[in-house]
Every structure is written in structure tokens, then in C-alpha cells.
Amino acid sequence: MPEWYVYGYMYKRHGYMSAKGIKHLLYKPDYFVENHLHKYDTLYVSYDLEITPDESDSSGFIWYKGYDHAIGGPLIPAFVDAAGKYSEYDVGEIRREIEKKTAWYCERNLKP
């Protein structure tokens, strides 16, 4: 596989996903479950369209449209790093949000 493919667990199986050609990323961290760092976070990935909220749902939950993949867990930081390296997409804001989430997690779980 070319080096821009990221290996990880997604869609209930191990596999590869390309980090090249990313047009839009949207990171939604979960701050409700304190004992898992990225398990319930979601990174939406689009190779073509902008990812936007889907206004057609009246359930009160925010759904999104325009994405090709949604990944979670420990694959998120690795994929963001690869997207920053192999795509012309600025991942700075997402990296800052991941760092913020990591600090939040450490504050609650790594107390001496």
C-alpha cells in the first residue's frame, strides 16, 4: 500500500483508508464519557464535499451530510496526522481540539 494509506480498525474490521485528497474534515469530540480518550469521538472525512449539518432531521440530534467516512477511536489522531502530511488540508484546528480533548481526559483519569 502507498504510505498515505492509514491502517486501523474501522467499520468493525481492520483495513486501510487513504489520507490523500482530503477536501474536508470535521472532528466531533465526546466530552460525556470520561474513561475513554477517543472511543466515542467521530472524525468525518470527505474527499469531495463540505461536511455540513443535516437540517432535515427534527430529532434534536445533529446529523451530518457530505462525508464519505466516519471514523472513531485511536485511529483519529493518526488519520489527522496523515491527512496533514498527504493532503493540502489544514489540520491545525483539529489537532488543537484533539490536544484539548487529551488534556481533558488526562485531568480526569491520570491523577496520582
Q: What is the pLDDT of residues 15-65, one digit of tens each?
A: 999 999 999 999 999 998 888 899 999 999 999 999 999 877 667 778 899
Report the alpha-carbon distance of residue 4 to residue 22 in Å, rounded.
Answer: 11
**Domain ranges within the chain, ordered by starting residue:** 5-109
pTM over 0.85: yes
Torsion over CA: 78, 82, 85, 89 (sign): negative
Give the separation between CA 97 and CA 94, rounded to whole angstroms. 5
**3-state DSSP call for residue 82?**
helix
